[in-house]
Amino acid sequence: MAYPDGLLVDGERVVLHEHPHWKMLVVPVLVFLVTVGAGGYLAALVRNQNWGRVAWIALAAVGMLIVGWLTVVPFVRWRTTHFVVTTHRVLVREGVLSRQGIDIPMSRINSVQFRHTLVERLLRCGTLVIESASDEPLEFDDVPDVEKVHATLYHEVADDA
C-alpha cells in the first residue's frame, strides 16, 4: 500500500512504507481464539437450560465486547500506524480517531541506530533510534526488518548531505 501522494511535496517520493511488526498482533489473536473457544464451551454448557437463550445472548454480548476491545481495536491501531521514509523526510503517523504524527527532515538527522533482542532478531524486527537536532533521540519500536530500514535511512541521509 503506497503512502498517499497528496501528502508529499513536489519531487518527493516514498522510499519505504512500513506498519509496525506483526508481533504486536499475537496477543490480540490469542485473545480472539480464547474468547471464541470459551464462548463456544459455555454456550454448549447452557444449551439445554430453560434460561439458555438469555445466556447465549449474554455470552455473545460479552464475547463481542472482549473481541472488539482486545482484538479489533489493536488491529485497527496497527493498520493505521505508518512509518514512512521519503527522499526528503521520515514521517510517522499514528491514530484512528485522533491522529498524531511527526516529520523529521533528512537534513536534520544526525545519526541512525537500531537495536533488537534475540527474540526480535528471530522475528526480524527491532527498535529504530533517530537522533536529530532535537534534544531527545526518537525511538520507534516494532519496526519490521529494522536493519534494512536502518540501511535505507542511512543511505537517504547520506544522499541528502
Is 6 within a domain? Answer: no
Residue 3 lies in a domain: no
Task: Output the pLDDT for position 1.
Answer: 46
Q: How many domains does the chain have?
A: 2
CATH number at residue 108: 2.30.29.30
Kindly tell me if the per-residue pLDDT of 59 is higher than 70.
Answer: yes
* Residue 1 included in any domain: no
Contact 138, 129 (CB under 8 A): yes
Mean of pLDDT values over 72-87: 94
The answer, yes or no, to whether residue 3 has pLDDT greater than 70, is: no
Domain match, 122 and 105 both: yes
Residues 101 and 152 in one domain: yes
Q: Within a domain: residue 44?
A: yes
Within-domain flag for 147: yes
DSSP string over 83-100 = EEEESSEEEEEE-SSS-E
One domain for residues 95 and 153: yes
pTM for the complete prediction?
0.83
Same domain, 95 and 71: no
Residue 2: per-residue pLDDT: 54
Give the number of other Cβ atoms within 10 Å of residue 122's Cβ.
9
- The reply to whether 86 and 153 lie within a common domain is yes
Q: The domain containing residue 34 runs over which residues?
A: 25-77
Could you tell me if 87 and 143 lie in one domain?
Answer: yes
Domain boundary among 45, 60, 77: 77
